[in-house]
Chain A
Amino acid sequence: MLLDFNQTKKILSKYKIPFCRSEVFKSKKEALKFAKIINFPVVLKIMASQVLHRTEIGGVKIGIKNKEEFKRAFDEILFSTKKKKINFEGVLVQKEMKGTEIAIGMKRDEIFGPVIMFGGGGIFIELLKDVSFGICPLKTPEIKEMIKETKIYGLLKGFRGFPKVNIEKIIKIAQNLSKLSLKDKKIKEIDLNPIICNEKEILVVDAKIII
């Protein structure tokens, strides 16, 4: 079973995994208030458990720079849910992040137990299979080694316009995930994808937790 947004946020915060500031709203007014607090540009995402790929139904709006754009985008999402007869659960308002996308995940292998996966986000993981695995519990040098094995590491060190990021922070996320895997045995699988990394911060933008 997939955990909902608030349960997911709670688990991540319990293990000190930094999540990009985001909230779910049903009211446009409340949503706009929050957008102003976290500052534009923001991203809107439809919350609907029956939808697998949000982009395919026009449920993701990016690069929203001001109040007007915000209102239009919110209305468009509402309209498409009505048209497609989707049960409306709310709209997620999230700060728009720029940087290199990576992914970290945890799954339980039936033979070796919990395993952590590290890889490049987006096409790196899907097309280039740029991933490495480590068996829990993982120590810092082991995670470092896992990161170095991937191609995305070249970008994370800073490469032609790609920001140089703090690898230690990435290691911390993987380590906390390793701790989680040994403590919270009811959690079967976790997908932190993407995690966006830039010079300033490294934040989880989307997370799936399966229990």
Chain B
Amino acid sequence: MSLDKIFSPKSIAVIGATPRKDSLGRGLFKNVLEYQIFKKEAKIYPINPNRKKVLGKKTFSSVLNIKEDIDLAIIAVPAQIVPKVVKECCQKKVGGMIVVSAGFAEAGGKGKILQDKILSIVQKNKIPIIGPNALGIIRPPLNLNVSFSPATPKKGKIAIISQSGAIINSIIDKSLLEDYGFSTIISSGNEADLKISDFLEWLKQDKETKVITLYIEGITDGKKFLKAAKEISKTKPIIAIKVGKSEIGKKSISSHTGALAGSYEIYKAAFKKTGIFEVETIDELLDSAKVLVLQPKCKNGIGIITNGGGYGILMADYCENLGIKLAKLKRKTIEKIDKSAVMHPAWSRSNPVDILGDASPQRYRVAIEALLEQENIYGLLIIETLQIMTKPIENAKMIIEAHKKYPKKPIICCFLGGKLTASGIKLLERNKIPNFLEPKRGALAMKALIL
């Protein structure tokens, strides 16, 4: 079943669009209308039998009253009416549907019966449906926001598939203050019909998507998920966070999306089998996604360069815990640095490479180039602590230059500081070199890059 009409619609019907202030139906319709600003030929129809106009657009009392074809129908009406509306959409032969209404399997009992009812209707008609209890979908590169999210994020290369809508909203808001964006955001809701595995298959061919992130409460189609994830992770890295590991967590899942949380140990095995990178926090999910967008993947064997001994050791500890191997310095590498004339004679001569507190940009350059030249060092973690003689902007320039010379070896920076370091960090990030303000985050980001 093709999902193209859902993800690249030429016409959208918003069922339950309303002018009522602070209502979901208004927010949703407002988001959908933005699509027309950039795509003039797109048709958008508000459906509401009780209103004549919504935000200046003439309403229809039913999709059946629209003459033109409808690619995507988004449904935001009370749960009891949803089966009737879904039936009408099937009669209209829409290309696909999204049900944002809540009160289905997640509410138990009667809700589950209602959900089964809409599922049997769409299955009979072979029309794909997202939800119910979903936030909707957003595709920033197309300026398409068919959701009731409070804002549209910037466009980027990260895709999100989430079984929670609220988490998506927080991530979007957070991303607006930072320097990353999204290719596709999908809230899968209760997954009555379309599931994470279906969306993975669709994202496989989506040219805008480079990295896929998953928020998982429970998988119901295990075999299909394994097959899809294994196939797609070969070309597009998949990062996942699985919630409901604790007993209390599990309980809130069953009352949340109505999915059965499998044993966490088995999920871990499934992630391992399919090459999914598992993380524990939403920050880690975004950190690793960002770094996978910006930097190439590499073999296990990295170098640490630092102007602060303590942070070097700390970073080495984190690396060891994560299974990141620190390469041993070859004699040739040590000699090269020794002979450079700019290095302090007391430099560490081992990995982590401590170039000492008074390190100049030149010392950074010499160490970085020597390490990148060593064949079995596949990537670098570069730490900068702020001393009175430290020059963050100059150091950033050295790093950017070196990365241009060795584009296949990833560099992750930990310029540690605040106000006085900010300009250096900005320069790094503008040149697609990620910086983390905490070494542990830097180490985890490197782990995400290791093949």
**Chain B residues in 8 Å Cβ range of A145:** 272
In chain A, positions 65-85 with a C-beta closer than 8 Å to chain B are none
In chain B, positions 218-236 with a C-beta closer than 8 Å to chain A are 218-220, 222-223, 226
B223 lies within 8 A of A109 (CB): no
Separation in Å of the B34 CB from the closest CB of chain A? 38
Whether A134 is near chain B, meaning CB under 8 Å from some CB there, is yes
Given A111-B220, A112-B223, A113-B222: A135 and B270 within 8 A (CB)? yes
| Cross-chain pair count, CB within 8 angstroms | 42
Say which size band chain A's interface belongs to: 10 to 19
B223 lies within 8 A of A113 (CB): yes
Separation in Å of the A149 CB from the closest CB of chain B? 9
B273 lies within 8 A of A111 (CB): no
A134 to B223, CA, bound (A): 14
A41 to B262, CA, bound (A): 45
B268 lies within 8 A of A133 (CB): yes
A163 to B323, CA, bound (A): 27
Whether A190 is near chain B, meaning CB under 8 Å from some CB there, is no
Whether B329 is near chain A, meaning CB under 8 Å from some CB there, is no
A135 lies within 8 A of B273 (CB): yes
**Chain A residues in 8 Å Cβ range of B219:** 111-112
Complex: chain B residue closest to A117, CB-CB? B265
**Chain B residues in 8 Å Cβ range of A112:** 219, 222-223, 226, 262, 266, 269-270
Whether A115 is near chain B, meaning CB under 8 Å from some CB there, is yes
B269 lies within 8 A of A115 (CB): yes
Whether B263 is near chain A, meaning CB under 8 Å from some CB there, is yes
Residue from A109, A110, A112, A133 with most neighbouring chain B CB atoms (10 Å): A112
**Chain B residues in 8 Å Cβ range of A206:** none
A142 to B219, CA, bound (A): 22
Secondary structure at the A interface, as helix, strand, loop or mixed, is strand
A115 to B223, CA, bound (A): 12
Number of chain B residues close to chain A: CB under 8 A: 16
A109 lies within 8 A of B273 (CB): no
**Chain A residues in 8 Å Cβ range of B272:** 134, 142, 145
A109 lies within 8 A of B222 (CB): yes
**Chain B residues in 8 Å Cβ range of A111:** 218-220, 222, 260, 262, 266
Residue from B218, B268, B269, B273 with most neighbouring chain A CB atoms (10 Å): B269
A110, A131, A132, A142: the one within 8 Å of B273 (CB): A142
A193 to B220, CA, bound (A): 31
**Chain B residues in 8 Å Cβ range of A109:** 222, 262-263, 266
**Chain A residues in 8 Å Cβ range of B220:** 111
A111 to B272, CA, bound (A): 16
Complex: chain A residue closest to B269, CB-CB? A133
Complex: chain B residue closest to A134, CB-CB? B269
**Chain B residues in 8 Å Cβ range of A113:** 222-223
Complex: chain A residue closest to B262, CB-CB? A111
Separation in Å of the A6 CB from the closest CB of chain B? 32
**Chain A residues in 8 Å Cβ range of B222:** 109, 111-113
**Chain B residues in 8 Å Cβ range of A115:** 266, 269
Complex: chain A residue closest to B266, CB-CB? A109
Per-residue interface assignment for chain B, residues 251 to 294, with 1 indicating a CB less than 8 Å from any chain A CB and 0 otherwise? 00000000010110110111011000000000000000000000
A28 to B262, CA, bound (A): 49
In chain A, positions 110-147 with a C-beta closer than 8 Å to chain B are 110-113, 115, 131-135, 142, 145
In chain B, positions 79-95 with a C-beta closer than 8 Å to chain A are none
A110 lies within 8 A of B265 (CB): no
A107 to B144, CA, bound (A): 45
B260 lies within 8 A of A135 (CB): no
Residue from A111, A112, A133, A135 with most neighbouring chain B CB atoms (10 Å): A111
A72 to B260, CA, bound (A): 54
Separation in Å of the B229 CB from the closest CB of chain A? 11
Separation in Å of the A118 CB from the closest CB of chain B? 11
B262 lies within 8 A of A133 (CB): no
Separation in Å of the A4 CB from the closest CB of chain B? 29
Known: A109-B263, A134-B273, A142-B273. 5 other contacts (CB 8 A): A111-B219, A111-B266, A131-B265, A135-B269, A145-B272
User: What are 18 contact pairs spanning A and B, CB under 8 A?
Assistant: A109-B222, A109-B263, A111-B219, A111-B260, A111-B266, A112-B222, A112-B226, A112-B270, A133-B268, A134-B269, A134-B272, A135-B226, A135-B266, A135-B269, A135-B270, A135-B273, A142-B273, A145-B272
